[in-house]
Chain A
Amino acid sequence: MSYIDAGYAIAFGVLAAYAALLWRRRQRLERSASRPQGHSAP
């Protein structure tokens, strides 16, 4: 694998992974934030 390919792969890979992480974190939080009080375990 050439340096260029590695560079592109790492850059886009990390950004994609971070984007996915953010997205999933947001989805989980949207769900638990809309749950009525008392059901979410502290």
Chain B
Amino acid sequence: MSSSGESAVAPWSPVATWVVRGLGIAAAVALAATVWLGLWVTPPDQVQHNLVRLVYVHPPIAWVALYLAFGVAAVSSALWLWPRTRSRFWDRLAASAVEVGTVFTALTLVTGSIWGRPTWGLWWTWDARLTSTALLLVLLLGYLAVRRVPADPDSRARRCAVVALVAAVDVPIVHFSVDWWHTLHQGATVLNANLSPTIHGSMAWTLLLGFVAFTLLFAWMLAIRYRVEVLSEHVQDTELDVALHERWAEGTDPVPAEPGGALV
């Protein structure tokens, strides 16, 4: 995919532009509605009072981070590694999903912590969900670190795909073992996000809206990040080509040969 000779990356088709713009607008509207409903319209919970309002934010963000973003990253990586479906598209998609997913994962931990502090008096606890989310964050950062190492696109994609797959295998193992850890350990308290037994009415709708809103936001961010990935690869290729051209130009210039002058 060397870009020698090309001067620009193909812009998005009108359909694609329209879809992405639609996603962005829908996401913004849905998020605004979620905030309005979540903070003002919905009633306080019987058990958690106003703290329940974070349920419109934290679980949706967690869903995006742990299942949507990570899922896309893992599946894309697998599709890239599988020779029959290999295509640059999957590598770029995986990288984009990982970066966006990292932001969401970090936010999952932060919002969860903020929710946990007033609810249970703890900023942190080592239960299965929190622990495996924290580990996922570290694994995602590892992916990003490997991504930054200079290498040809193929090698880089290969390494990153392996990191993503290993992470996909490891996170369930961690979750499972920490869960076991607690159930086998006598006297452990298992903390659950205990809402009142039934969540109904406006709260349920707002929760659903929250999930939809953050999913739309993820989709929009993924699209933009993907575009950024395509463009930055092109710019790097172009810069490499420019540098090469300048180098070759030096070699073919009819400069009078100096004694011991530059070799071709």
> Which A residues are within 8 Å of any B CB, using their own CB?
2-4, 6-8, 10-12, 14-15, 18-19, 22-23, 25-26, 29-30, 32-34, 36-38, 40, 42
Contacts and interface: CB of A to CB of B under 8 A. Distances in A.
Main secondary structure of the interface of B (DSSP, over half): helix
B227 A26 contact: yes
Given A26-B231, A29-B232, A36-B7, A11 B61 contact: yes
Interface in B203-232: 217, 221, 224-225, 227-228, 231-232
B110 A40 contact: no
Interface in B88-126: 100, 103, 106-107, 110-111, 114-115, 117-118
B239 interface: yes
Given A6-B114, A32-B235, A37-B7, 12 more contacts: A3-B118, A4-B50, A8-B39, A10-B114, A11-B57, A11-B107, A19-B224, A22-B228, A26-B227, A29-B228, A29-B232, A30-B231
A8 B35 contact: yes
A40 B114 contact: no
B182 interface: no
B45 to A, nearest CB: 12
Nearest to B242: A42
A18 B114 contact: no
Interface string B48-73: 00110110011001000000000000
B239 A4 contact: no
B170 interface: no
Given A22-B224, A26-B228, A26-B231, A7 B115 contact: yes
Nearest to A39: B242
Interface residues of B, number: 43
Contact of A15 (B107, B224, B245): B107
